Chains A and B, each alone.
Chain A
Amino acid sequence: DGGITQSPKYLFRKEGQNVTLSCEQNLNHDAMYWYRQDPGQGLRLIYYSQIVNDFQKGDIAEGYSVSREKKESFPLTVTSAQKNPTAFYLCASSIPGQDVSEAFFGQGTRLTVV
């Protein structure tokens, strides 16, 4: 089945630690996105990538980093510089250059700082 896989589903991190969230897709989509979801705030864009080896900051990129070495993979690292990392993180993909295309989402990773 084609889709987007995020892992792990739940993640706990100690303050001061970096942690990496995995996102893999087999939809052959070039564009991939990371969103952060907080209650009552909707989805906010962290980073996006339109093609391999290229990515751009979204609205709330501070404290996060990404890489795009393979078309299928777009991992997100939450660094210790992110002041309030506890949130639900969603990865998505779409067909670039086609604004009519809807985004396809993974099942999310819930990150909790302990």
Chain B
Amino acid sequence: AQSVAQPEDQVNVAEGNPLTVKCTYSVSGNPYLFWYVQYPNRGLQFLLKYITGDNLVKGSYGFEAEFNKSQTSFHLKKPSALVSDSALYFCAVRARQGGKLIFGQGTELSVKP
């Protein structure tokens, strides 16, 4: 069965420090991987996706993610966090053979000044 795990319910970071939000997946074959961000009482906004090629993917707002096939991970990163990055982050996966977009349970990122 396909699944996505975000092992941390909450991540706390000081402004200016690097941040990492973790995601691991279980999908047969090579999946498509996505990151979304959600602000309170809003819909999800697309940040970035991994399709193929370079394992380091760059996306919106200075975010990037690293695909690691051996560890089945797709961690979201940013070199220098901003207070405005505070939000709920979702990792999602879709199998290449088609199928549903499956979401992790979300990680609350809190960036303090």
Contact = CB atoms under 8 A, between A and B. Distances in A.
Interface of A: 4, 6, 9, 33, 35, 40-43, 45, 48, 58, 88, 90, 92, 94, 99-100, 102-108, 110
A106 B43 contact: yes
Interface residues of B, number: 24
A69 B36 CA distance: 29
A102 B49 contact: yes
7 contacts: A42-B105, A92-B44, A100-B51, A102-B34, A103-B101, A107-B42, A108-B42
Interface in B24-52: 32, 34, 36, 41-46, 49, 51
B49 A48 contact: no
B90 A104 contact: no
A63 to B, nearest CB: 19
Contact of B44 (A9, A58, A90, A100): A90
Contacts of A41: 105
Nearest to A102: B46
Nearest to B95: A99
B94 A43 contact: no
Contact of B43 (A40, A45, A58, A108): A108
Contact of A105 (B45, B94, B100): B45
Contacts of B44: 43, 90, 92, 103, 105
Nearest to A105: B43
